[in-house]
Amino acid sequence: MAKNIRGNHDGENGENDSYTIAGRGVVERDQLVREVEEGRHPNHHVVNINGEDYVRSNPDSTDSNNVNK
């Protein structure tokens, strides 16, 4: 279970094709989406943008744990 997931902005237009999880390293977007949908990262959810699924952190008052901060 990851507390902090960082988007790598490594897609063609700056989207997240992969994410970095502290202590685990780089995880491809499709893999992380599956893990979030399975409930393995309860502080995160999946959003669909233009037909592609991406991982986002659940909103709270702490900027430091947001995916794209």
How confident is residue 63, by pLDDT bands cut at 50, 70 and 90? low
pLDDT more than 90, % of the chain = 78
The answer to whether the CB of 10 falls within 8 A of the CB of 17 is yes
The tally of domains found in the chain comes to 1
* pTM for the full predicted model: 0.85
64: pLDDT strictly greater than 80: no
Q: What average pLDDT does the structure give for the chain?
A: 90
- Whole-Å CA distances, 54 to 4, 8, 27, 30: 15, 12, 12, 8
69 is a domain residue: no
Query: Which amino acid is residue 42, in one-letter code?
Result: P
Range of the domain at 23: 5-61
66, part of any domain: no
Is 50 contained in some domain? yes
Confidence of residue 51 (pLDDT cuts 50, 70, 90): very high
